Structure formats: structure tokens, C-alpha cells
Amino acid sequence: MNPLYAILLQITHADSSTVAPAAAPTKESSISFFELVMKGGPVMIPLGLIFLIALFYIIERTMYISQRGKIDRNLINIVRDNLANGNIKGAQQYCERIPTGQAQVVGTGLNFLGASLGDIDVAMNDKAQVEVSRMENRLNYLSLIGRIAPMLGFVGTIVGIINIFYKISLDSNINISSISDGLYQKMITSGAGLIVGLIAFVGYQLLQARVERFIEHIEDNKLQVKELLNQPGL
């Protein structure tokens, strides 16, 4: 056998018997939600604060308007029955016991029984305005947060861009790792600002719509009360 051929066979056999070790599986890096939020930088602190404020006012105003703006469609019927039986005091006391804006407006009209319809109308209008003002109290804070939050997010975007260019000025070798912090800050603050602003804006609009529905019902109730008080014998 040719000696050169024998040497080639031995090398081939040695290579085929050698098994390359399997590559170790790469470990995927993960990041928690809190760590991701913190990459937004210092701007995330005021954004977090106004988010908590918006959440507080949404919950607090929802509870107040749900209670004070509750509409009892049977209230006018109960008042009508009491007036028909000559129980004016009973109708007044019934309205005073119910802690809703509707009952207080109707009760105000009953308290002015004997005055002219013009005076009764003015009294109920004044009481209705007081109730609506109490419901709308602090809603302007939600409207303000809805406008401020996206602006704060934009401030974070500017800071992130400045951070990116600063890193580029320090390192002539531009790569993703050197500018990743600025990119994180830019995108996270922009998204957070929009989300907080959207929550505040939607909360404001929904609560304001409930106040508007209350006003519509009260206008109808005021008309019914004036019709009742304009009946002969009262």
C-alpha cells in the first residue's frame, strides 16, 4: 500500500471519530416591568405621580357622581301621590332624606310652594347649578393631566435624544449598545406620557358625560315639579 495513502486514511478516521462539542445554549436575558419603566429616566417620576393623581380623581369622582347623580325615576310619582293626598310635608321630608342631587332640587321646589312659578324656577335652577358644580369639582384636574402627560413624555423624548448624541460624541464607534439607554428613555417616556394622558382624558370625558345626563334628567324633573305645583288647590 502506498504510504501516503495510508497516512490519509488514518487522518480521515481520526477526524470522523472526533465529535465537536455542542454549543452551549445561549441564555436569553429578560427584564422586569419595573426595570423597563426605570429606563425611562427621571421624567418617569412626575409621570408616575400624575398617573396616581389621575387614578385617584377618577375613582373618587366616579363614586361621588354615582351617588349624587343617581336618578330615581319613581321620585316624581311619590311626590305627586303625596301632593294629591295633601301631604305636602311628607313630600318635602321624603326629598330631604334622599342624598341625591335630584331629590335636593325637587325638594327645593317643594320648599318654595306658594311662591310664583318664576321664583320656584329660579330656586330650582340655583340648586341644580350647585349640584352640578359639586359634581364637576376636580374634573378640571383630569383635563389638565390629559394635556400635561404627553408633554412630559415629549420632554423625556428630548432628553433621550440628547443622551444619544452625547454618547455618540464620546465614542466614535457607533453601535446599538452605546445608544440603547437613550433609545429606551425616548420610547418609554413617549409611550408612558401618551398612556397617562389617554387614561386621564377618557376618564374626564366619561365623567363629564354622566354629569350631562344628570343635567338632562334634572331639567325634565324641574318641568314636572312646576306642573305639579301649578295645580289648583296647592
Question: What is the arithmetic mean of pLDDT over 82-105?
Answer: 92
Flag whether pLDDT at 18 surpasses 80. no
pLDDT at 194: 94
| Per-residue CA distances from 46 to 67, 140, 153 (Å) | 32, 19, 10
Domain limits of the chain?
Answer: 42-229
Q: Model-level pTM?
A: 0.77
Spatial distance between the Cα atoms of 105 and 128, rounded to a whole number of angstroms: 6
| Per-residue CA distances from 200 to 49, 86, 196 (Å) | 13, 49, 6
Cell triple for 199: 387614561
Flag whether pLDDT at 159 surpasses 90. no
Question: What is the arithmetic mean of pLDDT over 226-234?
Answer: 77
54-63, 181-190, 208-217: range with lowest mean pLDDT: 181-190
More confident residue, 189 or 2: 189
pLDDT at 43: 84
